[in-house]
Amino acid sequence: MYNLGISCYYHDSAAALLKDGHVIAAVEEERFSRKKFDDGFPHKAIEWCLSYTGIKPEQIDSVAFYDKPILKFERLLDNYIAVAPSGLHSFLDVIPKWIHKRLWIKNDIRKSLKGFTGEIIFPEHHLSHAAHAFFTSPFEESAILTIDGVGEWSTTSFGYAKDNSVKITNDIRWPHSLGLFYSAFTYFLGFKVNEGEYKLMGLSSYGKPKYYDLILDKLIDVKEDGSIHLNMEYFAFTYDKVMTSKKFSKLFEIEPKTKDEETLQIHFDIGASAQKVLEDVILKMVNHIHDKTKMKNLCLGGGVALNGVANYKILSEGPFENIHIPPSPGDAGSAVGAAQYLYYVYHKNSKDYSNSARLIQENVYVGPSYDNDEIKSFLDSNNIKYQSFDTRTLLQKTAHLISDGNVIGWYQGKMEWGPRALGNRSILADPRRLDMKDILNAKIKHRESFRPFAPSIMEEYASEYFEIGVPSPYMLMVAPVKKPKEIPAVTHVDGTGRLQTVSKYTNSLYYDLINEFYKITGVPIIINTSMNVMGEPIVNTPEQAYQMIVKTDMDCIVMGNYMVMK
């Protein structure tokens, strides 16, 4: 049975095709449209899923859209009535988009899938997150927690899942949202909402949580079970395009930071305080959920599950034995989640408890790929000079280049599903060099100086270098580094690192490359950052990959078995 999942019209549009519940193709629209966080209908992503797999629309059994637009629209109208006349400006901007486009999603789907005659279903937003969290996990049963900005009405939900059943038992509703609470600070500290939350997480390590009590006193009421109530006098997102009110600025005695303004200690301290509140609320939530469900496993979903610092807190201080977070817990991931909900829950098919290594492969490496012939043909037709090597030699040469301090583009196999490059569309460098963060920033990334670079580590060495006893295959855990002096370029200012564990089975080529680096240096770790220039999505085609070496000061790019030097 073929099922298609779609998410769009908010941010991060995506499409995913499942065969008998297994992901056979999934990709974000931005990778084709080249518009970062593209929220339009994912025409190109759908087209690629079908052409890559050779499936025709008439072969698709049924389609799932990742939320219920009618309920979302109802919430919007309810909200505008409640805040009137304050929200008029926002109303005039938002409502026409819904009336002319977003409410007609069924038509859009039928139009883009000519020949498809099956059913289209609309699982609730948090059920799509929950399904993606559970059905990518190796667990037979699990408690579920999903936290994001807002779906239809829910902003946080919890429940449990077993075999092909996913049940949400409790939720917190709009406008009381932990995700939007964090997004309000993201906005206030000069980053873009829905995009800059991970920057706030990086920034928070530089501060002290001096405003922790003030936030709990004035902005958010937190109960023992983790339920929250925002004091809406301080937030503006219900009626304005900005997230915080004048009262919020007055409370911290500063105006919202602009993008280009210098980051001061007060910004770091406010960030640290918001991060600590977030972590403490989530810890209360997971303790409560554990009390209620008595389960040993927890699956986390929703955009807030991208917060690797909070995730590590749940792992290290929370009551659950095992935690699973899917590679794409945000809304793009819900294209897969909605299709998984459709196949397992709606069509009542049993969950396949396969080994977790195979699940990791299937959860991540499911995007577009270009083989050696296609890469060679691109290089030849553009008269680009390259060297070609057998795989063993290629790995040895690349590892030597990295250990000599070069910055290498590594373009291999299938593109990753989710926001992180996990060894197939990556830029690689030596983590032992203290100056490598500055080199990477000067040559390619031009990032804010407070943002760390992440390490990929051979899975069997993870606990030797990090305070962690479980794999972190999707780079969603930020753990303390045990040997910071050995790997200064990936050790954050607070002594942590956002690690990706790599095993031979889940990505053998990347694993073998790190192993070659290990043979040379004695360090089983490589810096891994996504292959894109600032403001652009991760590269897709060989042409886009090659442009990396043209547009930046990258030293070398390895595309398939071909090596191109700057």
- Minimum distance between the CB of residue 148 and Fe ion, rounded to whole angstroms? 3
Q: 356, 357, 289, 280: which is closest to 320 by C-alpha? A: 289
Which residues ranging from 438 to 477 are in contact with Fe ion (CB under 5 A)?
none
Nearest to Fe ion of 37, 248 (CB atom): 37
Element (H, E) at 96: helix 88-100
Angstrom distance (rounded) from CA 418 to CA 414: 12
404 Cβ neighbours under 8 A, 6+ residues apart: none
Among 108, 152, 269, 331, binds Fe ion (CB under 5 A): 331
Nearest to Fe ion of 331, 512 (CB atom): 331
Nearest to Fe ion of 72, 445 (CB atom): 72
Cα maximum dimension of the chain: 68
SS3 of 146, please?
A: strand
Nearest to Fe ion of 197, 430 (CB atom): 197
Nearest to Fe ion of 44, 72 (CB atom): 72
- Which residue is it, tokens 């606990």? 463
- Minimum distance between the CB of residue 415 and Fe ion, rounded to whole angstroms? 22
Q: Looking at residue 466, what DSSP letter applies?
A: B
Which range of residues in 27-35, 116-124, 272-280, 324-332 is near Fe ion by CB under 5 A? 324-332
- Are 133 and 126 in contact by the 8 Å Cβ rule? The answer is no
- Minimum distance between the CB of residue 150 and Fe ion, rounded to whole angstroms? 8
Task: Please give the radius of gyration of the chain, using alpha carbons only, rounded to the nearest integer.
Answer: 23
Q: Is 431 exposed, middle or buried (0-12, 13-18, 19+ CB in 10 A)?
A: buried
- Are 203 and 187 in contact by the 8 Å Cβ rule? The answer is no
Nearest to Fe ion of 179, 308 (CB atom): 179
Which range of residues in 152-160, 326-334, 454-462, 520-528 is near Fe ion by CB under 5 A? 326-334
Which range of residues in 58-66, 329-337, 389-397, 497-505 is near Fe ion by CB under 5 A? 329-337
- Minimum distance between the CB of residue 345 and Fe ion, rounded to whole angstroms? 18
- Are 507 and 422 in contact by the 8 Å Cβ rule? The answer is yes
Nearest to Fe ion of 124, 148 (CB atom): 148
SS3 of 131, please?
A: helix
Which range of residues in 49-57, 140-148, 394-402, 502-510 is near Fe ion by CB under 5 A? 140-148
Which range of residues in 21-29, 143-151, 340-348, 532-540 is near Fe ion by CB under 5 A? 143-151
- Are 42 and 13 in contact by the 8 Å Cβ rule? The answer is yes
Nearest to Fe ion of 55, 121 (CB atom): 121
Residue nearest Fe ion, CB atom distance: 148
- Minimum distance between the CB of residue 152 and Fe ion, rounded to whole angstroms? 10
Element (H, E) at 202: helix 197-204
- Minimum distance between the CB of residue 252 and Fe ion, rounded to whole angstroms? 28
Q: Interface with Fe ion includes 124 (CB under 5 A)? A: no
Q: Interface with Fe ion includes 148 (CB under 5 A)? A: yes
Angstrom distance (rounded) from CA 316 to CA 314: 6
Q: Looking at residue 238, what DSSP letter applies?
A: T
Instruction: Count residues near Fe ion (CB under 5 A).
Output: 2
Nearest to Fe ion of 148, 269 (CB atom): 148
Binding positions for Fe ion, rule: CB under 5 A: 148, 331
